[in-house]
């Protein structure tokens, strides 16, 4: 299991907490497929990861816009950085089918980014929504 739910601090917004819990489940299933080097499952779940991340980010961004949150653009910028990394990795995956590269991204980049993003951006944002 890549991310334990207990590693993710709850924030002061139930919707955001639900989005985080859902994403942990999707990412962990994806990571399991990567560890198993199951190419077909990785193909399938990569699409699920991208869709789940987009729903997560778009929902938060809509909430920030609706609330008139003053730091919404900066928060969205952090989302956009991860969107691009995932898109670029997915494009490389389609060509190379390299589970080792995906594993490294998940374990080194995504996990630390996710935890830091929630601890900083989502924790600061949640009370304002």
In a domain, 6, yes or no: no
The pLDDT, as a whole number, for residue 17 is 98
- Angle CA 62–124–59, to nearest 5: 20
Q: Can you give the CATH number for the domain in which 93 is found?
A: 1.20.120.50
In a domain, 19, yes or no: yes
pLDDT in tens, 62-91: 999 999 999 999 999 999 999 999 999 999
Contact 60, 75 (CB under 8 A): yes
Contacting residues for 36 by C-beta, under 8 A, at least 6 apart = none
Please report which confidence band the pLDDT of residue 95 belongs to, taking 50, 70 and 90 as the band edges: very high
What's the domain range around 110? 11-128
In a domain, 1, yes or no: no
Domain count across the chain: 1
**pTM as predicted:** 0.95
In a domain, 97, yes or no: yes
């Amino acid at each position: 299991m890549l991310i334990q739910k207990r590693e993710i601090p709850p924030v002061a917004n139930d919707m955001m907490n639900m989005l985080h819990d859902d994403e942990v489940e999707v990412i962990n299933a994806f990571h399991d497929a990567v560890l198993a080097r199951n190419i077909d499952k990785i193909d399938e779940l990569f699409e699920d990861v991208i869709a789940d991340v987009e729903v997560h980010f778009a929902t938060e961004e809509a909430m920030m816009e609706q609330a008139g949150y003053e730091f919404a653009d900066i928060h969205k910028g952090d989302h956009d950085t991860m969107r691009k990394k995932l898109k670029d990795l997915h494009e490389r995956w389609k060509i190379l089918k390299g589970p080792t590269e995906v594993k490294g991204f998940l374990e080194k980049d995504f996990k630390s980014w996710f935890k830091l993003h929630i601890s900083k951006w989502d924790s600061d944002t949640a009370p304002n929504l």
